[in-house]
Each structure stands twice: as C-alpha cells, then as structure tokens.
C-alpha cells in the first residue's frame, strides 16, 4: 500500500498551477488529499505529477450580489462551522457535517470533492440541489459551469485536464428558506448508500415557490430530483401532508430504478428531507421534531 513513484510540485500562483497541470497528461491536483491519497496508496490512481494547490489563496468565503462564493480550498470543517456559510448556505453546512470524520473534514476541500465527483459524495449533490455554479479556471480564463451540467459520470466531470476548480457559487438562502440533507450509511461517517438533499423557499403565504433536490449514492452522478419533486406537486404546495410525502417519495424512489434497497432508501430519505425542509422554512417545526437550521 505504497504509491507508485510520482513527481510533485507545490504551486504558489494560479498561473503556475495551471501551467503545471498542462505540462503533463497524467498530472493531478492535490488539495486535501482525502480521496486521492488512498487511491494512490492502493495504486488505483497513478498520477505522474501531483500539483499541490494548498498555497493558492482559495480558502475564501464571500457574499455579494445575493450569491455566496466559496473558494475551492475551503475545508469541509469550515463549511460546517463558518457562520456565514451556516446562514447563507445551510444545506452546504449540513452536507459537510455528514462527510467522513473530523480528521477528514479538517483536510478535505470543497473543490476537491466537486472535482473528484464521487457519486456517493454529499457536496456535489448539495450543489445540484442548490442549482449552484462551479467556477473553473483554465489558461483561457474562467468558465462558469452549472452544477447540473458539471458531473458527467462516475468520477468524471466536464472539467478539462488543465482546468482547476477555483470555487463554487450558490444563491444566498432567502428568508423563508428551508434545507435538509438526509442520508443513510451503515455507520456515522461512512459513504452514504443513499442521500437526499432538498432545499425550498416559501413565499409570505407559506407556499413553496422555489425548490431544488438531488440524491447521492444512487447513480453514476448526483441525481437531480428537481423535476421529480416539481411534478409530484411540491412546487406550489403550502403543506407537506402524508399523501404528498408518500407520492413524492414514490416518485423519487423510481430514480434508483433496478435497486430495491436504494429505491426504498431514496423514498424514505426524500420524504424525511422534504418534511424537514418545510419545517425549517417555516422557521420552526409544527410537529416539534425538526431542528432549525
């Protein structure tokens, strides 16, 4: 369990990092290393060159123009605890808290999780649910890629080999915003067998006027549930009663087609996340079981 030989360069300028990435077809970016290093130790990944980006000034959290812009070197622990993130993007904070263990969250980065594109990972699904944007820097400049278009397949994205994820952007949570990320894993901290993120916004009359949802662990990419929930009647609903929870769950479950166990879990988790999101959007919980974000 020792990695195959590789070269290593530590970039201090974005341009240097991009040049290094372009210099070798088998170059890989290393930030937190929480996915890449184990894969290298197993010799499942054999990059010829590691480009260390930890010195780049990308550990940033900014709110402007009703958008939260997060640098790609923001560690999961910061997503989990940063007061700005917790207030402006509570779904990301909740998703980050579900990643691995504290030691992993201390090192793992937002950009790393997004670029690695593990379909079981929480942050890609949360970004899809939030209709976020991935900011990719290449030598030709910055591309803004919708999270819904970014993930192509198992561990693959639309990112070019010489592009670097420098950040993500999500809308700031509105006043009657409710978000929930529910997952099932064998143990606390394991990869989720299935997880569902739901984010909604209610108008002053308590009617759902905006929604996003996505599942992780189910397909080869995060599965966008926006349309499924919309068709199920969540958009425009002012309450989630038992029958809406059941029909939405049933519709969401179908996205895990062919896998009885994941169908069951996605259904349950969708209902739970939807219920939580409504309770939180109302600023409290009518049933007394929810936790305000």
Interface contacts to another protein, rule CB under 8 A: 1-5, 38, 42-43, 184, 186-191, 193, 241-243, 245-246, 249-250, 260-261, 264-265, 267-268, 270-272, 274-276, 287, 289
8 Å CB contact between 233 and 242 = no
The smaller minimum CB distance to another protein, of residues 30 and 56, is found at: 30
The smaller minimum CB distance to another protein, of residues 205 and 288, is found at: 288
- DSSP string of 117-186? T-TT-HHHHHHHHTT-EEEEEETTEEEEEEHHHHEEETTEES--TT-EEEEEEEEPP-TTEEEEEEEE-S
Closest by CA position to 245, among listed 189, 182, 159: 182
The smaller minimum CB distance to another protein, of residues 16 and 190, is found at: 190
Q: Strands 7-10 and 49-52: what pairing?
A: parallel
Token pair belonging to 169: 């952007």
The smaller minimum CB distance to another protein, of residues 118 and 131, is found at: 118
Token pair belonging to 268: 């349950």
According to DSSP, residue 61 is labeled: E
The smaller minimum CB distance to another protein, of residues 65 and 289, is found at: 289
8 Å CB contact between 153 and 133 = no
């Amino acid at each position: 369990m020792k990695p195959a030989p590789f070269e290593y360069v530590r970039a201090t300028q974005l341009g240097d990092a991009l040049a290094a990435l372009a210099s070798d077809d088998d170059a890989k970016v290393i930030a937190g290393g929480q996915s890449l290093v184990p894969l290298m130790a197993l010799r499942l990944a054999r990059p010829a060159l590691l480009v260390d980006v930890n010195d780049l000034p990308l550990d940033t959290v900014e709110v402007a123009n009703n958008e939260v812009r997060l640098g790609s070197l923001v560690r999961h622990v910061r997503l989990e605890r940063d007061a700005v993130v917790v207030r402006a993007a509570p779904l990301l904070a909740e998703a980050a808290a579900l990643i691995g263990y504290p030691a992993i969250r201390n090192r793992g980065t937002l950009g790393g999780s997004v670029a690695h594109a593990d379909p079981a990972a929480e942050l890609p699904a949360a970004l899809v649910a939030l209709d976020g944007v991935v900011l990719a820097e290449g030598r030709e400049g910055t591309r803004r890629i919708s999270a819904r278009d970014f993930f192509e397949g198992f561990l693959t994205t639309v990112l070019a080999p010489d592009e670097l994820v420098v950040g993500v952007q999500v809308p700031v949570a509105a006043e009657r915003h409710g978000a929930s990320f529910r997952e099932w894993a064998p143990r606390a901290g394991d990869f989720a067998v299935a997880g569902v993120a739901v984010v909604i916004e209610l108008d002053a009359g308590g009617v759902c006027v905006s929604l996003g949802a996505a599942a992780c662990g189910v397909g080869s990419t995060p599965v966008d549930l926006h349309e499924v929930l919309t068709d199920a009647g969540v958009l425009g609903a002012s309450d989630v009663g038992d029958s809406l929870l059941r029909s939405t769950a049933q519709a969401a479950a179908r996205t895990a087609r062919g896998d009885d166990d994941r169908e069951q879990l996605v259904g349950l988790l969708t209902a739970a996340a939807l219920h939580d999101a409504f309770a939180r959007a109302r600023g409290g919980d009518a049933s007394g079981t929810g936790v305000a974000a």
